[in-house]
């Protein structure tokens, strides 16, 4: 992995100051021993003012793919496709709640009974189809290995529910490669909902994983339990999924994960937890076009606090680097001392082109929770081209950006945002303290003219002051929430004006 050098960071800031774009960015909590670093168990048993929905325009299905960067972003308007796009499956095995592991042969007429047996019989290029029904108990899989162009896929047909019944994790997958998990509901876990890891082999990650059209709910009993936990997973996609009810954990918690895309998901109605966390050396993750509704903690936790033994790579000098958060919608984030975005020991992380509706407590936080001498301070963050509609009374003591010790706030850039206070007609712009540079080139207290805020439609018309108010972003922008192209200069917020 290429490390971010001081010279590279200076070049990054120089390009940003010139307003350049089109070049890729420079490549490169509390720890829980069982969740962050353990191997696998190879056994298995059988608002009226701001809606929680977002109106979208469906892009054409034949839209051409753009040339893509190594972090899943793109040089055009369509983000990187997942590795299984166009994959070939030459074999299908079936599993059913009425099947039989002893007498079944995996055909539709004689299916297996358990997920474990079905997957254990899979070879590269196999689709394991779970027929409709509820599969009770925990599932543990290991060493599921497909090949480039011929993955192994575990796919639900119809309404398929995996129900842990309050007994452990719903599913634990250890050390997979070229693996697809699709069209499943995972629910009622006492710990993690879905846990995918590298089996504890820190130098050999799980690789090429797609999670698509999953529904994860009712996870955890108050501890560090996450709806989706990824440890040591590289080249992954989390797509088109619905995640809710993650109790005290996160919707997605990444430890030492790299080169991933999290796109077009709905994270909502958490209890006391956060949304997406990337820590433990995680880098080059694109978070694009998602909805975050009523996420009470930190909706995005770019970094965190990880035990040194769980970092991937082991000598990573940061909790996270180059986490890129683009064109998402955040509705009422941060009610539990949180924020829409927390930069926590994060190096060169970007929060751009997002729409924030009624953020609570803080809009952003700059923190450092890992203070070992090897770690760089939280630094070089961007908060640009965002549209923020807020109530001043919802912020803690009028603080927009909360800054903690051992950070480098002077290296951050806040600018080209649109700020509109619902409860302060005379609002003159955010005031930053603790060394955060002043806001620059922003639109202050002009109604963005959201098409229908009460109904959750946050598109803006061509007459909006948000139009053409943005600046170029280093590395480019992978399209808006609808995957339409941004203009030059771009509209601020998650939607290009139309």
pLDDT in tens, 237-293: 999 999 999 988 899 999 999 999 999 999 999 877 799 999 999 999 999 999 999
d(CA 421, CA 439): 16
The answer to whether position 266 is within a domain reads yes
The answer to whether position 494 is within a domain reads no
The answer to whether position 211 is within a domain reads yes
| Three state DSSP letters for the chain | CCCCCHHHHHHHHHHHHCCCCCCCCCCCCCCCHHHHHCCCCCCCCCCCCCCCCCCCCCCCCCCCCCCECCCCCECCCCCCCCCCCCCCCCEEEEECCCCCCCCCCCCCCCCECCHHHHHHCCCCCEEEEEEEEEEECCEEEECCECECCECEEEEEEEEEEEECCCCCCCEEEECCEEEEEEEEEEEEECCCCEEEECCCCCCCCEEEEEEEEEEEEEECCCCCCCCEEEECEEEEEEECCEEECCCCCEEEEEECCEEEEEECCEEECCCCCEEEEEECCEEEEEEECCEEECCCCEEEEEECCCCHHHCCCCCCCCCEEEEEEECCEEECCCCCCCEEEEEECEECCEEECCEEECCCECCEEEECCCCCCCCCCCECCEEECCEEEECHHHEHHHCCEEECCCCCHHHCEEECCEEEECCCCCCCCCCCCCCCCCCECCEECCCCCCCEHHHCECCCCCCCCCCCCCCCCCCCCCCCCCCCCCCCCCCCCCCCCC
The answer to whether position 169 is within a domain reads yes
Sign of CA dihedral 48, 332, 388, 80: negative
Per-residue pLDDT tens digits for 367-421 = 999 999 999 999 999 999 999 999 999 999 999 999 999 999 999 999 999 999 9
Per-residue pLDDT tens digits for 203-227 = 899 999 999 999 999 999 877 899 9
Longest dimension (CA), the chain: 75
The answer to whether position 472 is within a domain reads no
Phi first, then psi, for residue 343 (nearest 5°) are -90, 110
d(CA 13, CA 33): 37
The answer to whether position 315 is within a domain reads yes
Residue 354 pLDDT more than 70? yes
CATH number at residue 302: 2.160.20
Q: CA angle, corner 365, sides to 361 and 370, nearest 5?
A: 130
CA atoms within 13 A on the CB side of 325: 33
Question: Would you state the pLDDT for residue 323?
Answer: 98
Q: Looking at the chain, how many residues does it have?
A: 498
The answer to whether position 324 is within a domain reads yes
The answer to whether position 471 is within a domain reads no
Number of domains in the chain: 1
Per-residue pLDDT tens digits for 45-61 = 333 334 444 443 333 33
Residue 25 pLDDT more than 50? no
Residue 33 pLDDT more than 60? no
Name every residue whose Cβ is closer than 8 Å to that of residue 42 and which is 6 or more positions away in sequence. 140, 142, 174
Q: Is the peptide bond before 301 cis (omega within 30 degrees of 0)?
A: no
Domain hosting residue 102, numbered range: 6-455
User: Mean pLDDT across the stretch 411-434?
Assistant: 98
Q: Is the peptide bond before 251 cis (omega within 30 degrees of 0)?
A: no
């Amino acid at each position: 992995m290429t490390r971010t050098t001081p010279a590279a960071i200076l070049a990054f800031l120089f390009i940003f100051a010139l307003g350049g774009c089109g070049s890729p960015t420079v490549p490169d909590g509390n720890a829980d021993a069982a969740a962050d670093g353990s191997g696998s168990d190879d056994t298995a048993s059988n608002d009226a003012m701001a809606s929680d929905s977002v109106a979208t325009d469906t892009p054409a299905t034949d839209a051409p793919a753009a040339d893509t960067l190594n972090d899943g972003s793109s040089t055009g308007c369509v983000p990187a496709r997942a590795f299984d796009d166009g994959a070939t499956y030459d074999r299908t095995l079936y599993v059913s709640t009425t099947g039989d592991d002893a007498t079944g042969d995996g055909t539709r007429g004689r299916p297996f009974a358990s997920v474990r047996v079905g997957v254990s019989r899979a070879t590269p290029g196999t689709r394991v189809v779970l027929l409709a029904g509820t599969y009770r108990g925990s599932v543990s899989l290991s060493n599921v290995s497909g090949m480039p162009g011929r993955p192994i896929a575990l796919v639900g047909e119809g309404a398929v529910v995996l129900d842990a019944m309050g007994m452990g994790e719903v599913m634990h997958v250890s050390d997979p490669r070229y693996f697809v998990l699709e069209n499943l509901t995972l629910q009622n876990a006492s710990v993690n909902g879905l846990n995918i890891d590298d089996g504890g082999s820190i130098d050999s990650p799980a690789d090429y994983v797609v999670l698509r059209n999953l529904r994860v709910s009712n996870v955890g009993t108050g501890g560090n339990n996450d709806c989706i936990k990824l440890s040591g997973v590289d080249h992954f996609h989390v797509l088109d999924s619905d995640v809710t009810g993650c109790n005290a954990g996160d919707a997605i918690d990444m430890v030492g994960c790299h080169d991933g895309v999290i796109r077009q998901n709905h994270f909502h109605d958490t209890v006391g937890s956060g949304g997406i966390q990337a820590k433990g050396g995680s880098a080059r993750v694109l978070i694009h076009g998602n909805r975050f509704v009523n996420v009470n903690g930190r909706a995005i936790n770019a970094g965190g606090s990880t035990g040194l033994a769980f970092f991937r790579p082991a000598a990573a000098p940061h909790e996270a680097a180059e986490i890129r958060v683009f064109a998402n919608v955040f509705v009422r984030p941060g009610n539990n001392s949180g924020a829409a975005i927390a930069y926590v020991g994060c190096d060169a992380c970007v929060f751009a082109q997002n729409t924030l509706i009624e953020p609570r407590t803080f809009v952003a936080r700059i923190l450092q929770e890992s203070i070992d001498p090897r770690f760089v301070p939280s630094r070089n963050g961007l908060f640009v081209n965002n549209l923020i509609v807020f109530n001043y009374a919802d912020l803690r003591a009028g603080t927009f950006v909360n800054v903690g010790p051992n950070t480098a706030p002077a290296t951050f850039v806040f600018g080209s945002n649109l700020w509109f206070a619902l409860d302060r007609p005379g609002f003159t712009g955010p005031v930053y303290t603790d060394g955060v540079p002043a806001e620059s080139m922003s639109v202050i207290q002009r109604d963005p003219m959201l098409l229908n805020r009460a109904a959750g439609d946050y598109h803006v018309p061509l007459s909006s002051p948000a139009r053409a108010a943005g600046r170029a972003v280093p590395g480019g922008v992978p399209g808006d929430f609808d995957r339409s192209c941004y203009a030059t200069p771009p509209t601020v917020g998650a939607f290009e004006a139309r």
